[in-house]
Structures are given as C-alpha cells and as structure tokens.
Structure 1
C-alpha cells in the first residue's frame, strides 16, 4: 500500500470511529466493484457475552495491475482504544497492511474462502471483552476491485438465552421513545383542553400545532416499536417505513409552524405575502431533502460509498432550514420597529421567539452533536437529547402562542400597518 493509500486508510479509520454512530440489527449488504481501502460495516457496543456472525458469498476480485493477493483482503474487529496504536503503525510503515496489526482482532481473510464458484465464508465469533468495536473490511491490494454479498449479525446475550440486537448503549431506546410519546400525548390532551376553554380565540395555526403534536406522538410510538423489534429480532418488520413517513410529516409541520407563527399568519395578519410563501416552500423542500438523507443514512450505513456525502447533505439541509425559518420572524420584528408604542408587546414577544428558535437550532445542531461525540458507548442513549430539546422548545412555543384574547395582540393589515384589535364581546 502506497503513502497515499496509507493516508486515506488512516483518515477513514479515524473518521469512521469518531463520527459513525453505533448501529444494530441484521444487515444484508451488497458490495459492487468497490476499491475502497477501508469499509466500515457495523459499529456496536458489546457486553462480555456477545457474538458476531459474518457471512460472505459470491466473492469476486479483479485487479488492473496483477493477480490480487487473497491474504491482503479480509475482515477484522477494531476497538476504539486500539485506534491510536493502529494509526501509529500506519504512519511508521508505508507498506503496512492493517490485517497484519497486532492491535486488531482478525476474523478471516479471503484465503479462508471456499474455492470458486461458491467463494463463500460463514462463521460466528464470540466476543468476551466488553467494549465498542467496529467491523471493518480492508483491501490492501492496490487497484483491486471487490464484489461480494455480506451478511452481518451482531448481538449481546446478557442472560445467555435471549439475543439483544441493539448496541449496549442503545438498549434503552424503546422505553425512552415510548416515554416521550406519552409526554407528547399528555401535552396534546392539555392543548386540546386549552383550545376548548378558549374556543373564540382559537386560530387555524393552533389547530396546526395540535396536528403537529399528534404526529409527534405517532412518530415516537413508531420509533419505540421499531427499536423494540430490532432489539428482539434484529429486523424492524416494517415499523421503520411507518416511522420515516410520520417523521417526515412531523418535521415538515414543525418548521411550517415556526415559519407561519414567525410570519404572523392568522395571528397578526390573515395572509402571507410573496416572500413569506417562498420561505415556506424553501423550508418544505429542504425538509424533503433532509428526510431523504435521513432515510438513506438510517437504512444503509457507512459501507455505502456516498455515506459521508449523505450525512453532509442532512446536516446542511437541517441547518439551512432552521436559518430560513428565522427570516419571517426578523421581517416581522423590523415591521414592529417602524410602528408606534402599541406594538411594543408584540415586538418583545417575537424578539423572544427569535431567541428561542436560534437557541433551539444551536442546541440541536451543535450541542447534541458534541454530546454524542463525548458520551461513552454505554450511555449512547443520552445522545438522543434532541428529543428533550424538541419537547422543551414545543412547550415554550405553545405557551408563548397559546389561544388568548385577541385584544392582547395587534392586527397587521396587508399594507403593514398595525391597529389594535377589537375586544371580544361576550354573549
């Protein structure tokens, strides 16, 4: 392996072990004419009683230079604590192949494959030392292309009887998602109660906010069922499809509510102007892109060639979507600043709203990422703190813009002039 190939291998090892999340479930993967030096298949937190099964079939290797050496292609396990040692070996020896490292757990090389035409291998390995390990495939043959079908199965057996296909740090996720769904269900009940007690002050945006809560309840319940089935059987059994659909609807509604409230829709003015409609369409489009990227990331893994690109697309779309949602709020605040003292209350309200939205974006885009990076593998469920941030944000948002007497707000006409709304007359 040349200096360039060695540098690429070192970078990929460091990137995967520092950025890739722990995954689970049974994976069936097809690699087609791939010449990457390193491919990460799974990252998993093991207990002291665990097992890993790797099966490869239909293996075909071609090279543009010479006959590939089967001993230079193979699978191995690497713990995070051994990463620095392996990187050091790569730096010291330009021709070093990771499969020769003393710091890895070598599973097998292509020399162990059955002879053609089957060219297959299937074996299970016990894992007796607890820790977070990554399953890698390495190709130390320069300019060789590999085609193969790979099936991986990683699980823990803490009671020595039942397989747990969730990483040790994620085994609490089914309960966690179910608890959050109950929180949102109680939230929904309270919101409905507030609406019935203030029926004459309920706007369409309040109904939309209620629909958002319904979608959050359903999406989190599906997430709980998805992780529960993966934990028990290794497969989601269709719950992942329903979860992605509900997650998409929930995400679109979430940002749509922010944009509509920030634009004063049906609170201060009855219609959205052209630029606000454009922002809403941009936000929806970005959410479509972000959810497509989320599905690709969730249903595949680092073993696909464009995995890094899809992660970048997801993060960029989420960030730009959050920034775009702030523009209508800023426009509205600027409109308030050009009016008289009657708008002072609304000016303070929407300034606070802008601060809350910016804070939410910082927490979910930076804070949660930092938390996931710093959390040890046994507490990776803590990295799902974005659900806590979303719940707190919704509580603040819904309290700020709950149904109230219209006399507490100002009405904005189509020309941008604010007038005091008439007081509601009882009876």
Structure 2
C-alpha cells in the first residue's frame, strides 16, 4: 500500500476520463485513477457496469458486499492506511479524515447495465477547500473476486458552470506550452535564418540541429493543443497522436545531435568510430522508444498489474540511456587530452579540450536537471504549483538549445569550426606528404 500511494502522488496521467476493467482480480487494493488536484468545486463521477462477484471454491457462501467498493484518499492519509492495513482494518472503514468511501457494492445490482454516481467532494469532507486525491478500489473480502467495468471522471466546476478536467496546478499548462511554443518558434526561425545566411560555413550538423528545433517546436504545439482539449472534454481528442509522433522525432534527433556534436562529426571529422556507431544504433532508439512508452503509459489506467513495474523500468532505461550518450563526449575528451601531449599541437588540442569540456558540462547539467531536479520539484511542490516543474523543464531546454547553438553556430570566426578547418588542412598536408613518399615507405606508414 505504501508504494502505491507514494507513486500515485507523483503520477499525473493526462486523460481525466478513465476507463478500466477488472476481471476476477485478487488484489486487495487497486489504483483506478491517478492523483488529481481538486478545487472546492471538485467532483468525482463513477459509472459502473457489468458487476459480478465470484466465490473461490470451497469457501463460505455469505458475502458482505459492503466491504468491496471505491474510495478516494489524500497523500497525507498514507501512514494511517498503512497502519490500518497491518491491523486488518479495511480501507473502506478507515478512520482517516481524508479517506472517503464513495460507493460499496452492496448498493450495486449484480449484472445491472450501469450504476452512476456523482460525488461533490465538498459534501463528503467537512470544510473542504480543495486537495490532492486518488481513486482506489478495495476488496476486503479475501474469498471474493469481482469483475466490473468502470468509467471515472475527475473534474472541477468553473464559475460559469463548465467542467474543467485539468487538475489544479495543471490548469495553466495550455498557456505555458503555448508561450513556450512561440519562444521556440522564434528561436527556430532565427537559427534557420542564420544557417541560410551563413551557408558557406554551415555543415550537415547545423541542418540536423534545425530539424531538432523544428521537432521540439511542433511537440510544444501538440502538447498545448492536447492540454486544451483535455481541459474541455477530458480527453486529448487526437492531439496525443501528434504529440507521440513529434516526441519520437524530437527524442531521436536530440540524442543524435548530442552524440554527433560530442564526437565532432561533420565539422571536425566525416566518419564515426565503431563504438560511436553502436551508441547511435542501439542506445538512441532504445531511449527514444522508452521515452515515448512512458508518455503512452502515463495516459493509460494504472489498473494493470504490471503498470507500476513497467513505469519504473522505462524510467530506469531512460536515465541509463541518457548517461550512455555521454560516453562519446568522454572518449573525445580523452583522445584530445592524449593528443595534446603527443602530437606537438598542444595549443590547438587544449583549446578543443576546453570546448568539449564545456559541452560535456552542459549535457550533464541538462540531463541531471530535467531527469532528477524536475522530478523532485513535481513531487515536493504543493499541488497548486506543480506547473512550475513544467516551466522549469521547458526553460532549461530552451537554455540548453540556445547555448548549444551559440557554441556551434555556422560562423567563420567560430572557434569550433576554425579548429575543424585546421584539422582538415593538417589531414590534407599529411596525405600529400604520404603520397610523396616511396611506395614501400608509404605502405609501412599506412600499416602504422
């Protein structure tokens, strides 16, 4: 129970109309709908269908259906629920003030087409002014298995009487994502104009960075549209499909750009080493698929037995892959450090080394902030301020994109590109010198 309630506090599934099915499930408690921030006008609507219960073979025939049902609870009731569970107290009978029983199965006709219930939380909790609640199903009859379909709607009622399906703390997110869309669109346009104006100094990596900025911009637009429709209808109405597509493209391009920039591809060397190709071919697709799977999982109901397990695994894969893409940068730093001590070009290689270190620090800081700090912000802020974590995430992303663009902009005076030209000249001189050698010496040199 402790793990379920704690995770429920951190999960913010997008769709606020949840359809779930339970079929002869023997779990004592099941999370039906993830945590929602209610205002004083918060409501929970339940629609229960196809309810049936079954006795396990050889047990008593009498069943107390009042010990099967649904309840909502606030995170602060976690300790009391854990104590009740150890004492054998049913959550439906909990004495905790923030645990509210909504419906028990003794009030439901078995096999009925539908049982509907609308619960204003203000009528269930004294002096209710809002709060963070999750919806659970509890089965306190160990000899009974239940089957049912349920639709849950969580919403607040605005002053004009319309339903708002966004949680308190999420209600400003449509505006947040639209503002960030405008900022990223302007930044993408400026970057594209710079690449076109400096086309003689532009490399393939700069065009890839343009595609990344465009994918990120479209991701924000689809996210803004998705949250707008969720607020009005409780469902994303197709915008989630666009969000999945752009999230996949953005993830693929982002980690590709990080790896390619970190290895000096396109502006310092034309080819990738085998180990760098492995990073691109294995780690990046795995990370992107994990990231998209997390988004899809968050929109689905947590009723499934493996829901929490898969969510933990996918987050772990995401973090491991984020760390793995740092290896090419580390390899480049190590190579430059060794080269600065052996090839007689210490000044140039030390300059490269410093630039790669700067980029490495940027990537580490960005991954640490967006994967850990933002997560801690979301879990520790009051529910009314949960949108701050999304703002911090988007601002950090905009800052990272901007700094990367400044470091790698296509400009004749860019030190990165100047170093690349010097390397190209040095490689050309070495090749010319090799061709002027006798054939036997040239063969020995190539073998070395």
Q: Normalized against structure 2, the TM-score is what?
A: 0.85
Task: Give, in angstroms, the shift of residue 24 of structure 1.
Answer: 4.7
In the alignment, structure 1 residue 32 sits paired with structure 2 residue 39: no
Equivalent in 394, 403, 406 of residue 399 of structure 1: 406
Q: Structure 1 CA distance, aligned partners of 2:356 and 2:234?
A: 47
Moved over 6 A (4+): 416-420
- Change beyond 3 A, Cα 1:367–1:349: same
Question: C-alpha deviations, 1:40-74, integer Å up to 9, x for none?
Answer: 22221111112210111112222425345312210
Aligned mates of 2:50, 2:188 — CA distance in 1: 52
How far apart, CA to CA, are the structure 1 residues paired with 2:400 and 2:283? 18
The answer for the alignment partner of 2:105 in structure 1 is 110
Change (3 A) 1:362 1:417: farther
Q: Distance in 2 between matches of 1:397 and 1:418?
A: 29
Equivalence for 1:235:
235
Report what 1:60 is aligned to.
52
CA RMSD of aligned residues (A): 2.2
Deviation, 1:28, is 1.5
Larger Rg: 2
Stretch moving more, 145-154 or 230-239: 145-154
- Give the match for residue 84 of structure 2: 89
Q: Which residue of 2 aligns with 1:371?
A: 377
User: Match for residue 21 of structure 1?
Assistant: 12
Give 5+ residue unaligned stretches, structure 1.
1-9, 421-427
Does 2:341 match 1:335? no
Q: Would you say the 8 A contact 2:329–2:360 is kept in 1?
A: yes
In structure 2, what is the Cα distance between the partners aligned to 1:212 and 1:350? 21
The answer for the alignment partner of 2:263 in structure 1 is 263
Matches within 5 A, 1:103-182: 103=96, 104-114=99-109, 116-118=110-112, 120-128=114-122, 129=128, 130-142=130-142, 144-182=144-182
In structure 1, distance between residues paired with 2:176 and 2:282: 33
Q: Which residue does 1:205 correspond to in 2?
A: 205
What is the CA deviation profile of residues 321-344 of structure 1, one whole-angstrom value per residue up to 9, with x for unaligned ones?
211111111111112112222212
The structure 1 residue matched to 2:363, chosen from 329, 337, 357, is 357
1:50 to 42, 45, 64: 42
Q: 1:70 aligned to 2:65?
A: yes
Deviation, 1:304, is 2.1
Alpha carbons of structure 1 residues 172 and 99: separation in structure 2 relative to 1, 3 Å: same
Q: CA offset at residue 383 of structure 1?
A: 2.1
For residues 286 and 274 of structure 2, the distance between their equivalents in structure 1, rounded to whole angstroms, comes to 18
Report what 2:285 is aligned to. Answer: 285
**1:381–1:244: structure 2 CA closer, same or farther, 3 Å change rule?**
same
Question: Aligned residues, how many?
Answer: 406
Structure 1 Cα separation of the partners of residues 379 and 388 of structure 2: 11
> What is the CA–CA distance in structure 2 between the aligned matches of 1:189 and 1:49, rounded to whole Å?
43
Q: Tell me, in whole angstroms, the C-alpha distance in 2 between the residues paired with 1:312 and 1:152.
A: 25
TM-score of the superposition, structure 1-length normalised?
0.89
* SS of the residue 2:325 aligns to: helix
| CA distance in 2: counterparts of 1:117 and 1:60, whole angstroms | 6
**Residues 47 and 131 of structure 1 are in contact (CA less than 8 Å); yes or no, is this contact kept in structure 2?**
yes
Q: Do the aligned residues in 2 keep the contact of 1:23 with 1:44 (CA within 8 Å)? A: no
**1:369 positional shift:** 1.2
Deviation, structure 1 residue 202: 0.4
- Secondary structure of the 2:89 match is coil
Q: Distance in 1 between matches of 2:276 and 2:260?
A: 8
Instruction: Tell me if structure 2 keeps the 8 A contact 1:24–1:167.
Output: no
